[in-house]
Amino acid sequence: MRAAHLQAVASGPSVAPAQGVGADAAAGHRWFPAGTHITVRGLTKRFEGGTLYENFDLDIPKGKIISIFGPNGCGKSTLINMMSGIMPYDSGQILFEGKEVRESRIGYVFQNYREAVFPWLRARDNIRYPLQFLGLSRAECDARVESLLASFDVKLDLNRYPYEMSGGQQQLVSIMRALVVDPEVLFLDEPFSALDYEMTLFLRDRLQKVLIERQTTTLLVSHDLDEAVCLADIVLLLTKRPTHVSEIVPFDAPRPRTVDTTVTPEFVRVKSHCLEVFQREVRKP
Ligand SMILES: Nc1ncnc2c1ncn2[C@@H]1O[C@H](COP(=O)(O)OP(=O)(O)OP(=O)(O)O)[C@@H](O)[C@H]1O
């Protein structure tokens, strides 16, 4: 089956095989299409209840925000869990610019921040926790945390423990912990769904700003179509299981995107199209 080339659809040019080789090939890494960050080939995942993915192919472009949207239980979380190395798969290959996931720097934000943040650590220590694996000095770690805090432009008492923080502040800590390693790829599994609307808008705004500044390749799983479209460069629409790509829909409105974006004709057009594709899919027997 032909791979779904998100970049080719989003920005026009077709994939140019030769340019993916070069330095990475010399370093022993495998070939990947030019401009592509994550290459999924022949991915198969089965659970006891049946097949979720069968020979699934996908190319994720570098430096873009990709929203993943699809019917209930089609495997959105499973897809990012397999990509990020959290969950094994039966067969196939997932490469990051030709490298294995363990050779890449990734960040992951879970929906349930209460289970994700370490309750025994202050905000500062939660955020800098992954830095211990990078062998940085204490001063360098502190500088990274401060710089991240400045990028988010938010007031947060870093000496607080999670139980002393609101849900939104805990999720902010969890997001900052994922970003402090300067990940090449950030995975977000419904990061705002447990937060109130005000906090959701605030975090969407700040996170978007940081991601754009850093050009981090981002995969966002969202159940909220407004959110999925509003934040995305590309919306990846999935089918019912066995899951494959239903459609790839680019959205290139100017950034930063705000609630005002959601009333523009282009947003309404793209969202309506995504909804139509989604409804067609869920109505299938
Ligand atoms: N650990 C597991 N063991 C058995 N089946 C699983 C497991 N994890 C996921 N599944 C199956 O895979 C399907 C897809 O799960 P997943 O959470 O990835 O879907 P999703 O699209 O993110 O779902 P939702 O829209 O409900 O959030 C589920 O319906 C479930 O049947």
**Coil/strand/helix, residue 207:** helix
Q: Whose CA is nearest to atom 6 of ligand 1?
A: 47
Q: Is there a domain that residue 79 lies in?
A: yes
Q: Quote the ligand 1 centre to 245 CA distance (angstroms).
A: 17
Residue 22 lies in a domain: yes
Residue 279: both structure tokens together? 């409804």
238 lies in some domain: yes
Please write the tens of the pLDDT for every residue from 221-262: 999 999 999 999 999 999 999 999 999 999 999 999 999 999
What's the DSSP call for residue 243?
A: B
Residue in 43, 74, 1, 70 with CA at minimum distance from that of residue 235: 70
279 φ, ψ (degrees, to nearest 5)? -65, -40
pLDDT band at 153 (very low <50, low <70, confident <90, very high): confident
Structural domain harbouring 80: 4-104+184-282
Percent of the chain scoring above 70 in pLDDT: 90
pLDDT tens profile 98-123? 999 999 999 999 998 888 999 999 99
Instruction: Return d(Cα 282, Cα 30) in angstroms, integer.
Output: 37
Q: Which residues are CB-contacts of 156 (< 8 A; sequence separation ≥ 6)?
A: 123, 149, 169, 172, 173
Q: What is the pTM of this model?
A: 0.90
Residue 16 lies in a domain: yes
Contact residues of ligand 1, CB 6 A cut-off: 47, 49, 52, 72-78
Tell me the C-alpha to C-alpha distance, in Å, between residue 115 and each of 110, 118, 165, 180: 9, 8, 14, 19
CA 74–ligand 1 middle distance (angstroms): 7
Ligand 1 centroid – CA 24 distance (Å) = 34
Residue 16 is encoded by which pair of tokens? 């140019």
In a domain, 148, yes or no: no
How many domains would you assign to the chain?
A: 1
Write the residue with the smallest CA distance to atom 1 of ligand 1: 47
Best CA proximity match to 103, nearest among 155, 28, 157? 28
150 found inside a domain: no
Q: Classify residue 121: in a domain, yes or no.
A: no
Give the CATH number, domain containing residue 188.
3.40.50.300
> Has residue 227 been placed in a domain?
yes
Ligand 1 atom showing the smallest separation from residue 221 Cα: 22
